[in-house]
Amino acid sequence: MSAPTSSFRDGRGFDRILVWITLGFLIVFSAFPLVYNVIMSFQNVDLFTLASFDRPFVGLDNYDEVLTRNATQIIVRNTAVFVVLSVAAQLSIGFALALFFQQRFPGATWLRGLFLAGWIMPGLVVGGVWSFILAGDFGVLNWLLQTLGVTDDKIFWLSDPSKSLYSVIIANVWVGVPFNMILLSVGLAAIPDDIYEAAELDGAGRVWRFLTITLPLMRAQLGAVISLGIIFTLQQFDLFAALTQGGPSNGSNVMQYWSWELSFQDYRIGQGSAVSVLMILVVIGVAAIYVRSTRHEHAA
Amino acid sequence: MTIRTLLAGTAAIAASPAFAQEQVELDLWTIDDPGEYHYVMAEEYMAANPEVTINLRTVQFPDMVNDLARAIATGDSPDITYIDNPEVALFASRGLLMDLSPYIEASDIVNAEDIFPGPLASVSYDGGIYGIPRGANTIALYYNADMFEAAGLDPDAPPQTWDELYEAAKVLTKPEDNVYGLAFSANGNEEGTFQFLPWVQMTGGDYDNIATPGAERALTLWKAFIDERLASPDTLIRGQWDSTGTFNAGNAAMSISGPWEIPRMSEEAQFDWRVALLPVPDTEAERASALGEGDNVILANTDEPEAAFAFLEFLYDNMDRVWNEFGYLPASEVEVVDPKFPEAYAVFEESMQYARNRGPSPDWPQISKAVQTAIQSALTGQATPADALAEAQETISDVVN
Amino acid sequence: MLRDERLSQYALLTVALALVATYLFPVYWMYVTALKSGNEIVAWPPTFWPADPDFAAAEVWERLQMATYMKNSVIIAVGVTLIVVTLGTGCGYALARVRSRWMDVVLFAILMMQVLPSSLMITPIFVAFSQIGLLDYPRTAVILAQAAKVLPFYVVLTRATFIQVPKELEEAALVDGNSRIGAFLSINVPLARNGILVAALLIFLQSLGEYVYSRSLIQARAFQPATVGLQSFMGPNTSDWQGVMTYAAIYVTPIILFFVLLQRQIVSGLTSGALK
């Protein structure tokens, strides 16, 4: 048997091949568009020169333009708030639900599956439904709050610039909960029962068991869910388009929507690409932290 | 099949006998779905002209410019396409559209003088004519005559001026019944510009001259509607269609929108609804209104210019059908026999005379964005109307020059 | 004692039902909106059951020829899932097993590949696909683009699952004379099957809802998926919300039913972890 084949069957080559298959596919289909975006961010791109690389390079002009706009500060801040609050809420609600449905009672699995409904609704529909629920004049959320006596006046969730971002966050949390919950359920199910039983015999309370057993053993799952959650949240686009269009007056605008607006509505494609590159920088940070965190997984 | 369609077909064949025998394929991009304007017309045309095959592709309205630009960049563009009228200048300025003037001059069917000034301006750029409007629309003031009566207003005398509109909105607003005086759209997209620009144009300003006292007065009035809750705060994030939905349901006494509302309104509005011309700043002021709908254009790199133009002639020749069959206004001087909703039609037809183009500018989206930003920052109280408009003017001047 | 357990089980069930009901309220609202008239959608106070329900499902199904759209959606989702599971499972495993600086770099690179939303990736993808002639096979084009979009997601998820599979089992199999590939297929994959299944399921459902790539890469109506067909309710000046919701109800209901009916087979593995 020749060396490469044996390496494939028994040695390190097997892992390498597995990795390269995926990596190769991604380099062909994903790396190119990414690099293309990066290149465009340094160029003066016209709607009609999209297909050719022969475009004037303008150095950092696009970045300069984008970073000196009045709206930049508020949009960056909105993006941070959107990501942090969305991920925190999705994760805590998702984890709480996963733990709850981990208990044994009739119909637990069955009911848990229903949460996937949030994952399968088309973006346009989720946006439409939430825009009816959150509407100021006739929205059912205002009706509920008034009926419960929480507020006397109708709240204009979508058109009040101080609230519109939070209404998109509410809808986005709804979208993200099933993803978090289902994946964390998988992680919880993989923890052997006997570990808990042993701890219980040792007299460990619920909270203590959660902190000392569940959390450490869920480390890999949590890391994956959080980092993917951040990336997903940074990609949330449909809800902005359907609910507020980033408005009013950029009150709920975030970088991913802004980048699209610049490229596809204002046709300032170079600037739109510059914004997308700034987003890539953020994700580089997130990815680096995630990769670092995986170093400790094997210890667990 | 009418006699005229047959004639049109014959005229097309007569115009260029060269392709009378050969099969011709035309690619047509449209925002319509099957059963709507372009699909119906293409079918009729193919039936009358068996040598022509028209391949239709539906593109969503908001995607049209990007898809078209992408297709042009990769060499996959159609022969004929629909373009929203403020976008014609963008494509014409790059030489991507065919100048139809020589064809129109030679045509027995299309006569540029018959096209209303607004629609004609929307297809004109730098001395050429780059498209033929497929129809037009504009906006007017819908009002609930029953509510007028209940509030002691004369339903036969709808508001004529801005002041009257404001007073009427005030009287008609009934928070206890969930009724706003007025519904309109200050949405942060093209719809906001579409609704606001006529107000500026009535005071003598325009897209390139927007920091005027007249425009400031208009924006201040809009702000009063919102601040005094004469219109819903959600006006800032709601389009014309969803705003007028609240009018139909009896939650607004007046609504500013276009003729596309009529089919739904006639079904859902359980009251005596009527239409009036858009109020003007003062009785003396010149009228203006928005111009909507789009144009049929031919791409400059088409292989079949004659055949494509013949189809455009056919479309133009059927202008008298667009109101009754497809719900928009004729863009040229034609007689609409027995129009549906005759009273509303009469108002919109008159309003059409005052409809003004947005632009033309190859950079229209950036201009429009500046206008939207001004509207939204003034209405949310982040800037005074004067400051907001001054900032818009600065951006627009940069873009125009 | 037993009685207490019974009671607490029903208490849990009640809470669970309340949670599900709260969460599913927007889905309910979609169904109700589909049944309401335009006026009732904006009525105050909102009505929880339409005064005059009017479900135009048959009409919408027929007029839009939804059967074709649904078929295309399924073709695309199945295609994406197959590619992703075939290519990604091994990668997730390798990344879980091997610790080295190189593997860190690979994991990092894979995460980076999905940073941009589809709406920003579509222009270069369209240009590239058009140059190499892939646009002539529009559904395949969408499948490839979408597979690239969700592959990183799948790899990261399966990697987390493979980490939870104890190394000792695989090592034992190798000692018994299994090849690497044999151990992978007979030990690791079966033990990680829950995670693989769930990740594949999420990918399948997400691809069912793919819109941005399909909209741009598929020009012919006959090849478009349901999400693109949904757009025909949104005109330049009009948006037929009852139509959108009716269409969505038609689209979502069979998927939900599928889950409810096949729940046991699909997700039951969740509660009975493979290692117990």
Question: In chain A, where are the structural domains located?
Answer: 60-299
Q: Average pLDDT in the C2-8 region?
A: 75
Q: Between B16 and B39, name the one with better pLDDT.
A: B39
Residue with tokens 């028994």: A10
A122: left (phi over 0), alpha (psi -120 to 50) or beta: beta
Asked whether residue C47 is domain-assigned, the answer is no
At A5, the pLDDT band (50, 70, 90 cuts) reads very low
The answer to whether residue C139 scores a pLDDT higher than 60 is yes
Task: Reduce the DSSP state of residue B81 to 3 states and report it.
Answer: strand
Q: What is the pTM of this model?
A: 0.90
For strands B180-183 and B252-257, give the pairing.
Answer: parallel
pLDDT score at A298:
54
The residue with greater pLDDT, C186 or C19, is C19
> What is the rounded distance in angstroms from the CA atom of residue A166 to the CA atom of residue A162?
8
Helix (H) or strand (E) holding C29: helix C2-35
Residues of chain C in contact with residue B259, where contact means CB-CB under 8 angstroms, are none
Residue C26 shares a structural domain with residue C127? no
Nearest to B196 by CA among B385, B400, B397: B385
Q: Indicate whether C57 belongs to any domain.
A: no
Q: Are strands B294-298 and B80-84 parallel, antiparallel or unpaired?
A: antiparallel
> Which residues on A lie below 8 Å from B238 (Cβ)?
159
Give burial (CB, 10 Å; 0-12/13-18/19+) of B108: exposed
- What is the reported pLDDT for A11? 63
CA distance C130 to C124: 10
User: Is residue C89 located within the same domain as residue C16?
Assistant: no
d(CA C57, CA B190): 33
For B147, the token pair is: 């509510």
Please state the length of chain C: 276
Contact C147 A25 (CB under 8 A): yes
Q: Are C248 and A224 a contacting pair at CB < 8 A? A: no
Contact B84, B119 (CB under 8 A): no
Pair B347, B152: CB distance under 8 Å: no
**What are the structural domain ranges in chain B?**
3-137+293-349, 140-290+363-400
Three-class SS state of A186: helix
pLDDT class for C90, splitting at 50, 70, 90? very high
**Is C256 touching A (CB cutoff 8 A)?**
yes
Taking the CA of residue C17 and the nearest CA in chain A, the distance in Å comes to: 8
- How confident is residue B387, by pLDDT bands cut at 50, 70 and 90? very high
Query: According to the model, what pLDDT value does residue A282 have?
Result: 86
| Residue in C33, C36, C37, C39 to test binding to B, most B beta-carbons within 10 Å | C39
Residue C84 and residue C139 in one domain: yes
When the pLDDT of each residue in chain A is averaged and rounded to a whole number, the result is: 87
What mean pLDDT do residues A77-82 have?
A: 96
Contact B239 C239 (CB under 8 A): yes
> DSSP states of B144-201 as a string?
EHHHHHHTT--TTS---BHHHHHHHHHHH-BGGGTBEEEE----SSHHHHHHHHHHHH
Better-scored residue on pLDDT, C211 or C4: C211
Instruction: Write the residue in C44, C95, C259 that is nearest to A113 by C-beta.
Output: C259
pLDDT of residue C236: 84
Length of chain A: 300
Which chains contact A through at least 3 pairs of Cβ atoms less than 8 Å apart? B, C
Comparing B8 with A59, which gets the higher pLDDT?
A59
Q: How far apart are CA B8 and CA B317, in angstroms?
A: 8
Q: C3 falls in which pLDDT band (50, 70, 90)? A: low
Stronger pLDDT, A183 or B121, i.e. the higher one: B121
pLDDT of residue B248 exceeding 90: yes
Nearest Cβ partner for A160 among B94, B233, B251: B233
Q: Which domain holds residue C254?
A: 64-271
Chains A, B: CB pairs < 8 Å: 80
Tokens 């003088």 found at:
B113
Per-residue model confidence (pLDDT) at position A300: 40
For position C266, what pLDDT does the model report? 58
Contact B186, B192 (CB under 8 A): yes
Are the Cβ atoms of A105 and C156 closer than 8 angstroms? no
Q: In what order do the strands lie in the sheet with B252-257?
A: B180-183, B252-257, B140-144, B273-276
**Overall fold of domain A60-299:** MetI-like fold (1.10.3720)
Q: Structurally, what CATH architecture does the domain formed by B3-137+293-349 represent?
A: 3-Layer(aba) Sandwich (3.40)
pLDDT surpassing 70 at residue B16: no
Residue in B113, B69, B70, B108 with CA at minimum distance from that of residue B87:
B69
Angle CA B65–B70–B74, to nearest 5: 150
Q: Is residue C203 in some structural domain? A: yes
Q: Which of residues 97-126 of C touch A (CB under 8 A)?
A: 97-99, 103-104, 106-121, 123-125
Question: To probe the interface with B, which of A72, A261, A265, A271 has the most B CB atoms within 10 Å?
Answer: A265
Distances (CA, A) of C128 to A46, A157, B81, C118, C145: 17, 42, 24, 15, 11
Q: Among A244, A264, A267, whose Cβ lies nearest the Cβ of B237?
A: A244
Spatial separation of the C-alpha atoms in residues B83 and B299, rounded to whole Å = 11
Q: Is the pLDDT of residue C261 over 70?
A: yes
> Chain B: residue nearest A268 by CA?
B366
Question: Nearest CA to A250 among A65, A74, A68, A67?
Answer: A74
Q: Minimal CA–CA distance to C180: which of C244, C56, C90?
A: C90
CA distance A133 to C26: 8
3-state secondary structure C100-168: CHHHHHHHHHHHHCCCCCHHHHHHHHHHHHHHCCHHHCHHHHHHHHHHHHHHHHHHHHHHHHHHCCCHH
Query: Are both C140 and C216 inside the same structural domain?
Result: yes
Which residue is associated with the tokens 């970088």? Answer: A255
Q: Which two three-digit tokens encode residue B71?
A: 């297709």
Contacts with A47 from chain B: Cβ below 8 Å: 65-66, 69, 90
Res. C190 pLDDT band, cuts 50 70 90: confident
DSSP E strands, B17-79 = 24-30, 52-58
Inter-chain CB proximity A246 and B188 less than 8 Å? yes
Same domain, C113 and C228: yes
Model confidence at B290, pLDDT cuts 50, 70, 90, reads very high
Among C91, C252, C268, beta carbon nearest to A19? C91
In a domain, C56, yes or no: no
What residues of B are in contact with residue C131 (Cβ under 8 Å)? 74
- Residues C203-235 have pLDDT tens digits of 998 899 899 899 889 988 899 999 998 888 888
Report d(CA A231, CA A162) in Å as an integer. 25
The pLDDT of residue B298 is 97
For residue A6, pLDDT over 80 is answered with no
- Taking CA–CA distances from B137, the nearest residue in chain C reads C237
Give the pLDDT of residue B388.
96
Contact (Cβ atoms closer than 8 angstroms) between residue B122 and residue B360: yes
Measured distance CA(A122)–CA(A177) in Å, rounded: 16
Are C24 and C109 part of one and the same domain?
no
| Contact with chain A for residue B243, Cβ under 8 A | no
Predicted pLDDT at B306:
95
As a whole number of angstroms, the distance between CA C93 and CA C165 comes to 10
Q: With the C-alpha atoms ordered C127, B34, B10, B130, is the resulting torsion angle positive or negative?
A: negative
Mean pLDDT across chain C:
86
Residue A25: pLDDT band (50, 70, 90) is very high
Residues of C in contact with B245 (CB under 8 A): 38-39, 41-42
Residue whose C-alpha is closest to residue C147's, from C98, C80, C100: C80
Average pLDDT over residues A112-122: 83
Q: Which residue of B has its CA nearest to C42?
A: B246
- Whether pLDDT at C42 is above 60: yes
ipTM of the complex as predicted: 0.87
pLDDT at A299: 42
C136 and C266 in one domain?
Answer: yes
**Domain tally, chain C:** 2
- CATH class given for the domain over B140-290+363-400: alpha beta
Please tell me which of the candidates B57, B245, B258 has its beta carbon nearest to residue C219. Answer: B57
Residue A159 has pLDDT above 60, yes or no: yes
Contact residues of B toward C, CB < 8 A = 31, 33, 57-58, 60-61, 63, 67, 70, 73-74, 76, 84, 137, 178, 239-242, 245-246, 248-251, 258, 260, 264, 268, 270, 292
- Whether residue B74 and residue C126 make contact (CB cut-off 8 A), yes or no, is yes
Q: How big is the B-C interface in CB pairs under 8 Å?
A: 62
Identify the pLDDT of residue A10.
53
Q: Cα angle at A8 between A3 and A9, to 5 degrees?
A: 100
* pLDDT for A102: 85
- pLDDT reading at A230 higher than 80: yes
Q: What is the mean pLDDT of chain B?
A: 92
Q: How confident is the model at residue A116 (pLDDT cuts 50, 70, 90)?
A: confident
Q: A279 or C267: which carries more pLDDT confidence?
A: A279
Backbone angles phi, psi at A262, to 5 degrees: -60, -45
Among residues of chain A, what percentage have pLDDT more than 70?
Answer: 94
